[in-house]
Structure 1
Amino acid sequence: MNKYLFTLLLSVAGTTTCFAQANIIPAARQTKTIAITGATVHVGNGTVIANGTVVFSGGKILSVTANGQAPQDDVLVIKADGKHVYPGFIAPVTYLGLAEFASVRATLDFTEIGNFNPHIRSLVAYNTDSKVPPTLRSNGVLMAEITPEGGTISGSSSVVQLDAWNWEDAAIKTDDAMHMTWPVIPQSGGGGGRRQQILPPELLAERRLNAINELEQFFSEAKGYAAISKPTVTNTRFAAMKHLFDGKQQLFISADTQKDIVASVNFAKKFNIRPVIVGGNEASLVTDFLKENGISVVVREPHTLPNSTDDDVNMPYKNAAVLANAGINVAVSIEGYWQQRNLPFMAGTIAAWGLDKEKALSTITLNTAKVLGIDKTTGSLEAGKDATLFISTGDALDMLTNHVEKAFIQGRDINLDNLHKQLDKKFSEKYGMKAAN
């Protein structure tokens, strides 16, 4: 059989199998006031309330109190004695919903051809029928910033909640940020089994400088275009950058080394833009600079190795704590999309390596909400905010005890079934029956 036809048949079979597994319908709107009583309430801002009560109605939190008693009105009471209530976790900088099968190119929609793509909007490509988000909800991840990748300027991200019929329903904040990767010196040498030409350091540095100059020229032209009220010629790329210059949109810059972090922040300041640093492997070396300029950092997953052989092997675990303890607003992210279900355990690792447990919780709740500009409506359990929260029977940052038994998004009681649970049940029953026979 032709190898390409065989690959296609496997892809179709895999797609059919996956999409036949789960038929999860988005939850209906909240119609009755709900009170969760007796739980340990982790507010998300560093506060913990023992024997607390959370009351919400119409998708909004009415009160968070310490008496453990339900109001006398006609409410649905959920007794959660000995359990924990958390605000919904938020996954920033992820192409969740833009990819389904890593081995099937047709299902990958998170990158575009070209180096400057500010006009790309990830939200319109977000797939609410993906089988991945339900697996995240089962670990308490209820919101995400859907982000494009590729090129120097990748496009605009949007923040969504993970239980929706379509991308319009899912959207919490549209086009919250533009995403950019700071030019770095290309790595020379062999790779992928093929020897690459080793270029002189001077030539590599020249290429990097040219890339930065090209980027600066692009931003200068875009800023000039934004200043024209009615351009005679429409430029979609420049038009897409307008809200960077009027302060309505943030600029997320991926940069890791201390020199690149400083250079990228100064670049953004030149255009009166306050950036957010993504990655920041060496951000701990420039904490004073970051704090002085009010820069937030989205730290990539702690479960990785350091970039340099001279670094402390545990530095990836400590990085977020060093930054947070220095007074910098820190959020935590993970690469990829399936992996997002492990986000709470990244925060748990941070707590084990130098950061207070509730502050570590904030790195995936309120801190992230602040970075994304949605902290007025979500990120913590406070009156007036969205009732996006969940109940866990144990510590949600510990993979041994995280067990989400009930979750709400904007007050809606969502379905916590997912493909993994269904497969586990299916094959557990199969081999259970086999053992019985």
Structure 2
Amino acid sequence: ICQDGRITAVAATAVIPNGCPSIDLQGLHVYPGLIDAGTTVGLTEIGKVAETHDFAEVGQFQPDLQAGVAINPDSELIPVARTGGITTALIRPTGGVIAGQASIMQLAGWTAPEMVRVLSAGLQIHWPGVHDNAEQFQQLRRWIKDARIYDSARSAAPEAGGIPRLVDPRYEALRPYVRGERPIFIEAHSLQHLSEALKFAKLEKLNIVLCGATDAWKLAAEIHAAEIPVIVGPVMRAPISEHDPFDAPYANPGRLHEAGVRFCIRSDNAANSRNAPFEAGMAVAYGLPEEAALRSVTLSAAETLGIADECGSISVGKKADLVILDGSPLQVTSQVKGVVVAGKPFRPESRQTRLYEKYRQRLHPHAAAMP
């Protein structure tokens, strides 16, 4: 039972309030709304049209940028993802070394503020590499060091007439991250970069989440020992090294699961955000238990993003985010029959489904003219 956008009861014997509409879902399956833990949906529209790209700005160090501010609620890609069962997503900036702050968004709403659930969900860093790009790495270290100095100065400086002193928007944005109060999402894929990022986080005492992490299976024991969560994806990609097995990325989640690493799975693509559950499904074919795969795009994703008290499972008190299917969400053959976002039901319709219905008439040119 859902009321005011939240789940109020989960039981076969629950009493339905008077006047509450009911939906017969006999023969169908109800799952928690799926979560894409890394995408640019809402920040881009057409790949070849640069004017529609709001995921990257000019500059290498921009911690004050917030992805949620730039979300386009009218993006045609949002219904596409929602039609695939995605109800929540981590929207991340991608430009520069410190790209800005990722936001958590529900895939329904009239305005960006209405859709954003967490504006500053984490700081997005694209690992420059200690040896690959030594200059940018040293700049990154200076930014962290200077942010700590700034934080100490701001904490010690009294306010004059209600106006805070020494305010710099970039360093101000970094304060909760250098304190370890919010996670830093470090984008790194290769063994070398992942190893460097682990050492950097330990040295600087930062609260990090490894993202991408294609070679994470090679460091599974170290990642588990450090108790660092991982956002894997995309799973359906080529290996980093030409010497690795072709299926190394497919088997990566299964190996992390065996090592006890906390992880979830993302799409890492705006147009293919709908495919996040199929990324998890591919991992099942290469050793990941099905239950763990389903968890990787629901509750595990919510836990990694710090929103498990709001979504990720069908539990009383959580947001009423649900997806209704005729099969498993991990199977490509399953059809989404309905989606509920914060208690509001949606039909599985998008520009793509409308075009499908339009052009399938070509197969039966006389059917449309028939009464």
The structural deviation recorded for 1:435 is 7.7
Question: CA–CA distance in 1 between the matches of 2:242 and 2:205?
Answer: 37
Q: CA deviation at 1:72?
A: 5.3
Which residue of 212, 217, 233 maps to 2:142?
217
Q: Is the 8 A contact 2:324 2:337 kept in 1?
A: yes
- In the alignment, what sits opposite 2:152? 227
Which AA in structure 2 matches 1:418? S
Deviations 1:139-195 (A, max 9, x none): 10111111101211100011010111111100111210000011137xxxxxxxxxx
Alignment of 1:102-113 (within 5 A): 102-113=47-58
Contact conserved, 1:265 with 1:274, CA < 8 A, in 2? Answer: no
Q: Does structure 2 retain, via aligned residues, the 8 Å contact 1:284–1:322? A: yes
Work out whether residues 362 and 368 of structure 1, in 8 Å CA contact, stay in contact via their aligned partners in 2: yes
| CA–CA separation in structure 2 for the residues paired with 1:396 and 1:280 | 24
Structure 2 residue identity aligned to 1:71:
V
**Cα offsets for 1:42-87 (capped at 9, x unmatched):** xxxxxxxxxxxxx22222212333xx45525434332222211111
The one of 2, 8, 31 equivalent to 1:86 is 31
Distance 1:87 1:260 in 2: 34
72, 86, 107: which is aligned to 1:162? Answer: 107
Letter in 2 for 1:234: V
The question of whether the paired residues in 2 share the 8 Å contact of 1:184 and 1:208 is answered with: yes
Residues 398-417 of structure 1: pairs in structure 2 closer than 5 A: 398-401=331-334, 403-417=335-349
User: 5 Å matches for 1:64-103?
Assistant: 64-65=10-11, 68-69=12-13, 71=15, 73-74=17-18, 75-103=20-48
TM-score, normalised via structure 1 length:
0.78
- TM alignment of 1:246-395, pairs within 5 A: 246-395=179-328
Aligned residues of 1:95 and 1:146 also touching (Cα < 8 A): yes
Correspondences of 1:94-173 after superposition (within 5 Å): 94-173=39-118
Deviation at 1:290, TM superposition (A): 0.9
Out of 350, 358, 363, which is 1:418 matched to? 350
Give the secondary-structure state (helix, strand or coil) at the position aligned to 1:76.
coil
- Secondary structure of residue in 1 paired with 2:88: strand
* Contact preservation (8 Å) 1:122, 1:158: yes
Distance in 2 (CA, whole Å) between partners of 1:322 and 1:242 is: 35
Q: What is the CA-CA distance between 1:233 and the residue it aligns to?
A: 3.5
SS of the aligned residue for 2:272 comes to helix
What letter is aligned with 1:304?
A: R
Distance 1:60 1:310, change over 3 A: same
Query: What is the distance in 1 between the residues matched to 2:349 and 2:301?
Result: 26
Q: Which amino acid aligns with 2:10?
A: V
Distance of 2:114 and 2:331 partners within structure 1: 31
Whether contact under 8 Å (1:163, 1:414) holds in the other structure is no
3-state DSSP class of the match of 1:317? helix
Distance (Å, rounded) in 2 between the aligned partners of 1:248 and 1:411? 31
State the SS of the aligned residue for 1:106: helix
Where 1:160 maps in the other structure, the secondary structure is strand
CA distance in 2 between partners of 1:218 and 1:342 (Å):
36
TM-aligned CA distance change 1:259 to 1:210, over 3 Å = same
1:56 matches 2:2: yes
Amino acid at match of 2:3: S
Q: TM-score, normalised by structure 2?
A: 0.92
1:272 CA displacement: 2.4
Report SS of the residue matched to 1:324. Answer: helix
Question: Is it true that 1:176 corresponds to 2:109 in the alignment?
Answer: no
- Percent same amino acid among aligned pairs? 29
The offset of 1:88, in angstroms, is 0.7
Decide which structure has the larger Cα Rg and report it. 1
**Do 2:182 and 2:207's aligned partners in 1 also have CA atoms closer than 8 Å?**
no
Counterpart of 1:390 in structure 2: which amino acid?
A: V
Unaligned runs of 5+ in 2: 158-163
Distance 2:60 2:288 in 1: 38
The letter for the 1-side match of 2:5 is: G
**Structure 1: gaps of 5 or more residues:** 1-54, 186-204
Q: Distance in 1 between matches of 2:209 and 2:277?
A: 21
Distance (Å, rounded) in 2 between the aligned partners of 1:271 and 1:304:
32
Q: Secondary structure at the match of 1:77?
A: coil
Post-superposition offset of 1:284: 1.0
Any conservation in 2 of the 1:276–1:297 contact (CA below 8 Å)? yes
Distance 1:352 1:69 in 2: 37
When residues 70 and 428 of structure 1 are mapped into structure 2, their CA distance, relative to the original with a 3 A threshold, is: farther
Letter in 1 for 2:252: N
